[in-house]
Amino acid sequence: MERAEQGSPIEPDPYFGPPTDRGEATLPGRFVTIAELPELNVATGLVLQPLLGSGLMVSFARYEAGAEAPLHAHEEEQVFVVVDGEFDVTLDDETRRLRVGDAAVIPSWVPHRVTASDDGPATQIDVFCPPREGLLRLLEG
């Protein structure tokens, strides 16, 4: 076992683990510049920039003030994270105002709606698992 500078032992880390304790990589890693991702205008005032992994999708979403993702549902699980501005988010019959640092977990088939506040533009990040089929179709088209 290794020792830290003060002499106490360094325990194996259950989260990170050693780089030798792994399976085989299925794809090489890659770096991406968000500004260079394709832009999809999916609703008035709403632009998505999807980033696709092998088993998940991240979508960077920019909303103009008051822009809305209308009520919808999908099979893919979704995590919604606010990074700028404010949103009114409806999950089923409950609506909450989400601000920077807030998030929502949206399981499969839960109806949801997102509206950016009228106070200014807003940005959020979606994570979908598996990748969102509707966005994959838009990327192909």
CA distance 86 to 97: 7
Which tens digit of pLDDT belongs to each residue from 5-53? 565 556 667 777 777 767 788 889 999 999 999 999 999 999 999 999 9
Q: Which fold has domain 37-140?
A: Jelly Rolls (2.60.120)
Residue-level length of the chain? 141
Domain boundaries, the chain: 37-140
Is 105:67 a contact under the CB 8 Å cutoff?
no
Which tens digit of pLDDT belongs to each residue from 47-103? 999 999 999 999 999 999 999 999 999 999 999 999 999 999 999 999 999 999 999
Q: Which two tokens stand for residue 56?
A: 């998940």
**Residue 22: its pLDDT value, please?**
73
Is 67:115 a contact under the CB 8 Å cutoff?
yes
- Backbone φ, ψ for residue 139 (5° rounding): -65, -35
Full-model pTM: 0.85
